[in-house]
Amino acid sequence: MAALLTTPESLKATVPQAPEHNRQDWKKYLAVKFVNSKTYGFGPLREMLKKAWNPTGELEISEFGDKVYLIKFQYACDLSEVLTGAPRSFHDELLLIKCYEPDNLPSEYLFDKTDFWIQLHGLPINTLTPGTVHYIASKFGYPHPFKEMILGSGENMLE
């Protein structure tokens, strides 16, 4: 019976490391998840993301977990553009984005926060100050620093 509980040396195996060029390829991946409970087919999701992000190269999409998708970019510059400013919401749904780490399991990704824009309309003119807008934005999360802009029509906007 004790022999069944031990592993003979001939059954032990080591998993070879991926070649370096394959490990570098993972730098072009993002793990993404929508906040809602809706699932998407790969084709419609690819078209929706291509329309919103307008990448110069192709996108490959695969399932990565429960309502989590793995997006592979053909070019690293497209991934960088997404991380620095592309829309994070689609059809009124917020998209959570994490950089892919090749040694992490899908269950190890924590999709708990993301940056997003909010627009406030109809505020009284005397409340259009950076302090008031910061106070309102802080009710939704942690606001990033912003700058005040004067638009050509005399309207104020905070960015």
The span from the CA of 141 to the CA of 137, in Å, is: 7
Q: Which residues, including other chains, have CB under 8 Å from residue 33's CB and lie 6 or more apart?
A: 67, 68, 69, 95, 96, 109, 111
103 pLDDT exceeds 80?
Answer: yes
Phi-psi region of 7 (alpha: psi -120 to 50; beta: other; left: phi over 0): beta
What's the whole-number mean pLDDT along residues 20-44?
Answer: 80
Question: Which class is domain 26-108?
Answer: alpha beta
The span from the CA of 92 to the CA of 9, in Å, is: 56
Q: Where along the chain do its domains lie?
A: 26-108, 114-144
The span from the CA of 115 to the CA of 19, in Å, is: 34
Confidence band (pLDDT; 50, 70, 90) for 30? very high
pLDDT in tens, 41-57: 889 989 989 998 999 99
Considering the chain, what is the average pLDDT of its residues?
A: 79
Q: Where are the alpha helices (DSSP H) in the chain?
A: 2-5, 20-25, 42-53, 76-85, 130-138
Q: What predicted TM-score, i.e. pTM, was given to this entire model?
A: 0.66
